[in-house]
């Protein structure tokens, strides 16, 4: 009977959400007023803090409960953004109130190299940096009014993405999914645009979104091929979470009833962060009341069965704290709270429904070394695409027309990865976790 109770309890956890407690990592032991950015790179967690006009870069220690400051004397400015890009750790820096700088490290922050060739010059540096993204071997740089810039990590110079004329360069949400860039114009035409050639050509996606829509978050999930949008109408109505399983054409609305309310000032309580990995979904909300815990909701079954996930999180006496960035770190999920700490908990990702995948493949050996073998290709007709992503969802290998049943993995660093196989119409037909030695 005792064994039966345990099994039922575990099953309830997997159906209805996460039960593990969040744990503080104690970056709060340092003096700061805000956490600007966090990122996982080479099994290390990095964070940037702000205090007054100062900004500092830290790396979490192996105990998951303390941090060490990284010497950034080689950086000509104040660290502002940190982003993992393959074997590079990028750091965007603030020069002063008007300009910025960009660097990367290939030795986990021990040394830094300037990476600004081809970028516009502004007051002796480059324009202010508003964000960094990495996908499919490319780095995307947001320079605000100076637009988006992109480069492959194997080349030297950056080049500018020519966004649709209605877009405010660099200020509109952008993401990448299945060899397609998506960007939402929330200040002009209120349109979703897509590009299959990294921004050379754009087309309007004919969506069923509201006509005057403001997007707060635009997020992609490489495991489920799902796009998420958080936002609502310009008049404040229809606010909530939207998701699309057909490349942004049709969107399903979830008003997050029972979770979204008004904030501490009596206005719309906003979504501050969205993270999706397979069936695991995390949403950070503004707090809506004083003397309460920070608000995060999550589910292990996508948008179904969402529940408050606040066990162990910080008590908020003012009602002004909120999570703003989720990062997958090894087998955990980390969240940065606006001005208090970085919290960590085990990430539980349920497998996709195997019945929906249809075709079956076998990948071996696991762990893999230089070559990954694939059986089952002979049973499939048409084009097969293979993608290998790390546990942060970043693509490390992409083969658009897979012909061989042997995949060379020599260029992939050691670690855990997920192999995704798609058919000719881009449906996911196999997903398997592997370890590269």
pLDDT in tens, 68-122: 999 999 998 899 899 999 999 999 998 866 688 999 999 999 999 999 999 998 8
Mean of the per-residue pLDDT values of the chain: 85
**Whole-model pTM over 0.85:** no
Q: Which residues pair with 431 in a beta bridge?
A: 420
What are the chain's domains?
A: 18-346 (2.130.10.10), 354-436 (2.60.40.10)
Of the pLDDT bands very low, low, confident and very high (cuts 50, 70, 90), residue 187 is low
Cβ-based neighbours of 155, under 8 Å, separated by 6 or more: none
Round to whole Å and give the CA distance between 3 and 144: 57
**Is the per-residue pLDDT at 16 higher than 50?**
no
Q: Which residues pair with 47 in a beta bridge?
A: 38, 58
Of the pLDDT bands very low, low, confident and very high (cuts 50, 70, 90), residue 6 is very low
pLDDT in tens, 300-341: 888 888 999 999 998 889 989 999 999 999 989 999 998 889
Nearest to 391 by CA among 426, 433, 352, 334: 433
pLDDT at 136: 85
Q: Which residues pair with 81 in a beta bridge?
A: 92
Across the range 425-433, mean pLDDT stands at 77
pLDDT at 395: 80
Residue 82, both tokens: 């940190």
Round to whole Å and give the CA distance between 329 and 397: 20
Nearest to 98 by CA among 119, 130, 122, 68: 122
Starting from the edge strand earliest in sequence, which strands make up the sheet with 174-177, in order?
Answer: 174-177, 180-184, 192-195, 203-205
**Is the per-residue pLDDT at 391 higher than 80?**
no
Across the range 393-419, mean pLDDT stands at 85
Cβ-contact 413, 436 below 8 angstroms: yes
Across the range 381-394, mean pLDDT stands at 77
**Is the per-residue pLDDT at 298 higher than 90?**
yes
> pLDDT higher for 395 or 332?
332
**Is the per-residue pLDDT at 2 higher than 60?**
no
Give the percent of the chain with pLDDT over 90: 43
**Is the per-residue pLDDT at 378 higher than 80?**
no
Across the range 278-295, mean pLDDT stands at 92
pLDDT at 168: 64
pLDDT at 384: 85
């Amino acid at each position: 009977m005792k064994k039966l109770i345990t099994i039922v309890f575990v099953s309830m956890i997997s159906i209805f959400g996460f039960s593990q407690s969040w744990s503080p990592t104690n970056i709060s032991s340092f003096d700061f007023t805000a956490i600007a950015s966090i990122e996982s790179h080479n099994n290390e967690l990095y964070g940037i803090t702000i205090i007054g006009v100062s900004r500092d870069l830290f790396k979490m220690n192996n105990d998951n409960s303390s941090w060490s400051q990284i010497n950034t004397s080689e950086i000509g400015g104040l660290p502002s953004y940190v982003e993992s890009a393959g074997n590079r750790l990028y750091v965007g820096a603030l020069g002063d109130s008007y300009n910025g700088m960009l660097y990367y490290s290939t030795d986990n922050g021990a040394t830094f190299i300037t990476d600004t060739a081809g970028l516009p010059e502004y007051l002796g540096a480059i324009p202010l940096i508003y964000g960094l993204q990495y996908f499919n071997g490319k780095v995307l740089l947001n320079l605000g009014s100076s637009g988006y810039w992109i480069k492959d990590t194997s080349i030297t110079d950056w080049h500018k993405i020519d966004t649709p004329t209605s877009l405010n360069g660099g200020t509109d949400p952008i993401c990448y999914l299945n060899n397609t860039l998506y960007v939402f114009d929330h200040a002009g035409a209120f349109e979703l645009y897509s590009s299959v050639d990294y921004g050379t050509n754009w087309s309007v996606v004919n969506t069923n979104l509201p006509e005057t829509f403001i997007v707060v978050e635009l997020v992609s999930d490489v495991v489920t091929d799902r796009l998420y949008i958080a936002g609502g109408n310009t008049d404040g109505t229809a606010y909530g979470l939207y998701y699309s399983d057909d490349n942004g054409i049709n969107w399903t609305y979830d008003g997050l009833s029972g979770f979204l309310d008004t904030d501490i000032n009596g206005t719309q309580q906003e979504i501050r962060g969205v993270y999706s990995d397979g069936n695991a979904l995390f949403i950070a909300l503004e707090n809506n009341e004083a003397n309460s815990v920070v608000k995060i909701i999550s589910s292990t079954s996508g948008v179904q069965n969402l529940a408050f996930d606040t066990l162990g999180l910080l008590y908020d006496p003012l009602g002004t704290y909120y999570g703003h960035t989720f990062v997958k770190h090894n087998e955990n999920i980390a969240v940065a709270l606006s001005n208090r700490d970085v919290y960590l908990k085990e990430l539980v990702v349920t497998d996709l429904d195997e019945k929906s995948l249809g075709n079956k493949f076998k990948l071996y050996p696991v762990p893999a070394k230089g070559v990954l073998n694939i059986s089952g290709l002979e049973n499939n007709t048409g084009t097969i695409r293979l993608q290998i992503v790390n546990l942060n969802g970043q693509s490390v290998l992409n083969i658009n027309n897979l012909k061989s049943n042997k995949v060379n993995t020599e260029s992939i660093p050691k670690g855990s990865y997920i192999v995704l196989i798609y058919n000719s119409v881009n449906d996911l037909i196999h997903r398997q976790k592997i370890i590269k030695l």
